[in-house]
Structure formats: C-alpha cells, structure tokens
Amino acid sequence: MNLAVLASGYGSNLQAIIDAVDRGEISGRVKTVISDVEEAYALERARRHNIEAIYINPKDFPGRKAFNEAIAALLEEREIDLVVLAGYMRLLSPVIINKFRGKIMNIHPSLLPAFPGLEGAKQALDYGVKVSGCTVHFVDEGLDTGPVILQEAVPVYDDDTVESLHERIHRVEHRLYPRAIQLFIEGKLSIEGRRCYRNEG
C-alpha cells in the first residue's frame, strides 16, 4: 500500500513510521511526505530516506478549499491508499475527507475525547489528571472527533512537566501508530458509526 504522510514540524512520528517500514513491521511504503511548512524537519527526514518531499505553501492559494484541493490532487495522482497525519497542524477540509473517508489517520497526545486540539499534554497537566495517553483515530470533519482505532494510557506523575509528559507519550505514539497502520493494511479495521472494530477473522 502507498502511504502519504502530512506533517508540519519535526516529524518524529514520521520517523517511527519509516523505521517500522524498514523493519518490516509495516507492509507498505511511504510514497510521499507533504508539508505546509517549508522548513519542516519532516521534509528533511523524507529526503534522507529517498522519499518524495513536497512543500505546498498555503499562501499560494486563494483560500483553504483551494489549498486542500491541491493536496487532494497530489494524493490522487500518487495513488495513495492511506493518508497519515503526523503533527499536521491544519484541519483537513471536506474535499480531502470525502475523497479519502475511512483512509485518513491521525494520532493525538491524549485519551480522546479528553483534551482535543492543541497541547494535549499541557491540558492534561493543567486539569490535574493522573492518567493521560495517546489515541490513533480516523479523521472526520471535526477536531479530533473521528472513530478511535487504538488508545494507550500513560501515567501522569506529580513532578511531570509538559516536556516530560510529552516525551513519555511520544514513546508510546511511536509504537502505537505503526501498529494501527499495519492493521489498516491487513484489512482488519472496520467502521460502524462512531466505532472502529478490529477484525481478526
């Protein structure tokens, strides 16, 4: 299967996915990496692994819809089977979601539906929870609202900072995301309403 990764920043989850492909844990390939940030280190990670790296400047388009249409066209041209968001900091518009419904994944640093949006780790600390974690989910039109694929809890310690909690969550993310991608590739995921089921048949 052909994977496309959309990333806006450092790309640590992208690296975890590339490494999982290299180890044979993901039986697909990252065909392209697309970023809305020219200096995103994720693009450099792609180049180092001989993966197509594309920067698309949102300012080159008259609006969000046209920008998303350009991304959708790229994804279709490259015959992408699964779109993977890895620190992509923009909401996808319906033009992409409708063309790839049930074929777009995201990972979020909280146990959704708790603490959606930006700074999930900071939200968890500010709220005072004792357990946080991460969630891999399919993307729909909402903000971190799509059907949950996998979740894993991470303890919150009394002396945690945002950085230390985020680092602990990241370690789990780097293991969980490749697992969810491989389940998709193996055809073991199905969506019914709000729920995602794992089919082992």
- The predicted structure's pLDDT at residue 200: 73
Same domain, 161 and 122: yes
Q: Which CATH number do you get for residue 146?
A: 3.40.50.170
- Quote the domain boundaries for residue 183: 106-201
Same domain, 50 and 124: no
Query: What residues have CB less than 8 Å from 156, skipping those under 6 apart?
Result: 124, 125, 129, 130, 131, 132, 165
Render pLDDT for 42-55 as a digit per residue (tens, 0 to 9). 999 999 999 999 99
**Domain end marker among 35, 66, 100:** 100
If one counts the domains in the chain, the total is 2
Is the pLDDT reported for residue 103 higher than 80? Answer: yes
Same domain, 192 and 168: yes
Going by pLDDT thresholds of 50, 70 and 90, the confidence category of residue 199 is: confident
Same domain, 74 and 127: no
Same domain, 51 and 67: yes
**Domain end marker among 77, 100, 123:** 100
The per-residue b/e assignment along 154-180, b for 16 or more CB within 10 angstroms, e otherwise, is bebeeebeeeebbebbbebbbebbbeb
Render pLDDT for 11-42 as a digit per residue (tens, 0 to 9). 999 999 999 999 999 999 999 999 999 999 99
- In the set 108, 137, 166, 174, the catalytic residue is 108
Same domain, 83 and 113: no
Report, as an integer, the average pLDDT of 169-190: 97
Tokens representing 134 are 């991460």
Same domain, 121 and 62: no
108 is catalytic: yes
Render pLDDT for 139-153 as a digit per residue (tens, 0 to 9). 999 999 999 999 999
